[in-house]
Structure 1
């Protein structure tokens, strides 16, 4: 165990809107509106809006399983700790290992998206900035914000993502007005869509929506966390899911009759601004996209650090990463490590592998989604196990977990069959190799530390106050009757 870890995080500094903003920033609605919807259209066509709606419903099952924990107990890095409580320290360690990967690569996507749109704006002014310089600027600023004050970070993300979403919704309203608010019968009748195309579209939808769970990582810092965090988990998912349905429907409608189909366009929002004779909107929309990607990188940095922080305190990572700053009350060492990695990964992909920056964005997002899927599977299995240990498992809880796992198989299977094109076809195996390394490392920690599982489990339950005694008492008459 890492007895050397010192300090604690700031208690009760985040309200519901601030925690929700952290989750929404990680989902990054602007990312999907700006870069992902064309990919969705290439698979699902006129059924793209339906694929997003179905994907949202699917992940609501995962969220409901997650909230089996979140409404009863809370602490920093909760999703990792929740899995420990349900399935034990080995599965919990694997979950944390998956989440560290997920936040790192989605943070990489945020940094590359920031760079893409920053250079788009620079291009409007007649010059370009080297990608590595913009990486460094983004990494330095998010590090300062996350190092100094989580509340400042969350308020900034709430403002930045809110402004970006408002601009996109304004553009959507103008596009719908331009089309006289008529119903698009081709979309509503799913014209030309196929079951296989919709299934592939659901895979894209799931990858767009991952990140809602990050609210659980702020258990120590949220106000009234047993109510705030479950609400933030659900509402961040519902709000972004509805946003994706609206924006997807509008983008598909807006490109009707255009010379280039939506799936062949790299900047659909800018094209829409031209089509509705509002070219002046291109600059503010690009600014909104740039700051949204910045907030995505910041949210991943904050969330990822709060996964490394408890795992370091439990001996999985070096003890220093389990320290909290005495004045700022942030996990400053873990923040620094995550910031360095989020800078290094895209730099290596660009320089070491000679990739284009848009390819770095796409590949990083796909890599990150694998990590989230692994953690979602584990939390869905952990929920009924946790409730059974507590003596409050009901049949509907088991059914909810089974449904969640079954639905998650759709994007999991869809990522390997039909076999994707190169290089995406090897991504699952790269992630699998990473998982094997993590499993080997976790087993080595167990072997080196006698009584590891019992001690970590004790710490996790100690950190997570659990108001379940009333539920157990309430169910006792039912058990006696049976």
Structure 2
């Protein structure tokens, strides 16, 4: 299956995405863009440190291993099925159309809420850069202007060409990551040693802190599977996409481990602890007398959040495109632009919803970072549910096709256990408000999609014929 077949009598205009378009590096860039790895050292690692302390590097190592195992389950499908429907179609092939629909809506929530979160994250980090050069600006009018600017540029890039989008992501992310690694290497040279006995000896660390740190570290990786939405647009999708899924999570995971170790070491003995620092690389670069490098890295972090907006709305649009083809969303969302072959209607919808969510929290009185945390947590629930269903679907799919082996069962069980640990950690101990109500908000959002699916199945079963074909692998 190389594309989504269009049901007769729905929509007009372009229907197909541009095929055989993106090379391997551009496919990898899609996953890297949603992960936004440059943003993690500057914003997320300090939060993980607040819980895991000297075990922060270990929490990221465990999270990397866990998601590599989850990636193996995703690749059961990505090596066999090429589709813009991503995990939605994968879960349907293994567990049937109902599970596919649940996965699709969960994944759509994940991508849209990630886009909304990083709109606020982009504003926060951009204002931080301005403050570092002496411009202390704030206020809702400024937030509104910046939101429209960042989202507008991201939309135009996504509308024009997916290759332009992935190349923008590639340049922004890898440039900033190179500077982050450079800063860490210079720190260790300046410090005179790479051995930090507090971290290697796990001082003050216990299983409880590692578990909580693992939950938070997991948040840094969500969206690593985003390359799977390029099943039509990728060159050699059954070869490039599986490699991109594992390459993105493993490479980024190693970078996170190194960054966590380096930042923790750099803040030992500092008057301000890592978890209390709003600009950790400004502190690190100041230690070896290169404050300008800290400003450049901070700007790169802001750019990283911007590219995450771009990658997230691109991913959301392609999932929505597939849902629309299967009668699960308005038929117009399956149209593609006549010139650019982008899913412009689905892209427009995803962008507008993300913008409204981001601005809604800001205008409700939440600051940028609080809004980022709330929206990002809701997004993470979407990814966790989607990953869990695909992980369960993988061995079922292999069994039905006579390919199931012992190692597949073991791998899937390990992935399920690791995902269960993360899911349990998000709800127990019960977090403070508003995080304690977020699981219920997420379930209500998923329920909206499920109820609509059940309604269609009852009143218009013919509209779901394509879903049946997809999920049973009949195409």
Deviation at 1:214? 0.8
Partner of residue 395, structure 1: 406
C-alpha contact (below 8 Å) 2:116/2:357 kept by paired residues: yes
Q: Which of 428, 440, 455 is 2:439 aligned to?
A: 428
C-alpha contact (below 8 Å) 1:147/1:331 kept by paired residues: yes
Distance in 2 between residues matched to 1:397 and 1:430, nearest whole Å: 34
Partner of residue 420, structure 2: 409
Distance in 1 between residues matched to 2:466 and 2:318, nearest whole Å: 20
- Describe the SS at the equivalent of 2:157: helix
Partner of residue 193, structure 1: 205
Partner of residue 163, structure 1: 175
Distance in 1 between residues matched to 2:40 and 2:461, nearest whole Å: 47
The aligned runs of 1:176-255 (5 Å cut-off) are 176-255=188-267
Q: Which of 313, 334, 344 is 1:332 aligned to?
A: 344
Deviation at 1:126? 2.6
Distance in 1 between residues matched to 2:255 and 2:271, nearest whole Å: 26
Residue 313 to residue 168, structure 1, CA distance change in 2 (3 Å): same
Residue 381 to residue 2, structure 1, CA distance change in 2 (3 Å): farther
Distance in 1 between residues matched to 2:467 and 2:174, nearest whole Å: 39
- Give yes or no for the alignment of 1:101 onto 2:101: no
C-alpha contact (below 8 Å) 2:39/2:302 kept by paired residues: no
Partner of residue 375, structure 2: 364
- Describe the SS at the equivalent of 1:190: coil
Once the two structures are overlaid, the 10-residue window that deviates more, 104-113 or 371-380, is 104-113
C-alpha contact (below 8 Å) 1:2/1:312 kept by paired residues: no
Distance in 2 between residues matched to 1:435 and 1:11, nearest whole Å: 31
The aligned runs of 1:303-318 (5 Å cut-off) are 303-318=315-330
C-alpha contact (below 8 Å) 2:327/2:464 kept by paired residues: no
- Describe the SS at the equivalent of 1:388: helix
Q: Which of 3, 16, 24 is 2:9 aligned to?
A: 3
Q: Return 5+ residue gaps in structure 1 as ranges.
A: 465-482
Distance in 2 between residues matched to 1:155 and 1:141, nearest whole Å: 14
C-alpha contact (below 8 Å) 2:26/2:170 kept by paired residues: yes
Partner of residue 395, structure 2: 384
Could you give the per-residue CA deviations for residues 239-259 of structure 1, whole angstroms, max 9, x where no partner exists? 110000000000000001001
- Give yes or no for the alignment of 1:84 onto 2:92: yes
Partner of residue 469, structure 2: 458
Deviation at 1:453? 5.0
The aligned runs of 1:10-29 (5 Å cut-off) are 10-29=18-37
Residue 182 to residue 393, structure 1, CA distance change in 2 (3 Å): closer
Deviation at 1:135? 0.4
Once the two structures are overlaid, the 10-residue window that deviates more, 288-297 or 397-406, is 397-406
Once the two structures are overlaid, the 10-residue window that deviates more, 87-96 or 225-234, is 87-96
Residue 2 to residue 192, structure 1, CA distance change in 2 (3 Å): farther
C-alpha contact (below 8 Å) 2:117/2:371 kept by paired residues: yes
Partner of residue 472, structure 1: none
Q: Which of 47, 50, 60 is 1:52 aligned to?
A: 60
- Give yes or no for the alignment of 1:172 onto 2:184: yes
Partner of residue 473, structure 1: none
Deviation at 1:305? 0.4
Deviation at 1:121? 2.8
Distance in 1 between residues matched to 2:57 and 2:183, nearest whole Å: 18
**Runs of 4 or more consecutive aligned structure 1 residues displaced over 6 Å after TM superposition:** 461-464
C-alpha contact (below 8 Å) 1:84/1:91 kept by paired residues: yes
Once the two structures are overlaid, the 10-residue window that deviates more, 104-113 or 61-70, is 104-113
C-alpha contact (below 8 Å) 1:76/1:218 kept by paired residues: yes
Instruction: Name the Cα RMSD after superposition.
Output: 1.6
- Give yes or no for the alignment of 1:68 onto 2:62: no
Deviation at 1:421? 1.7
Deviation at 1:459? 4.5
C-alpha contact (below 8 Å) 1:41/1:262 kept by paired residues: yes
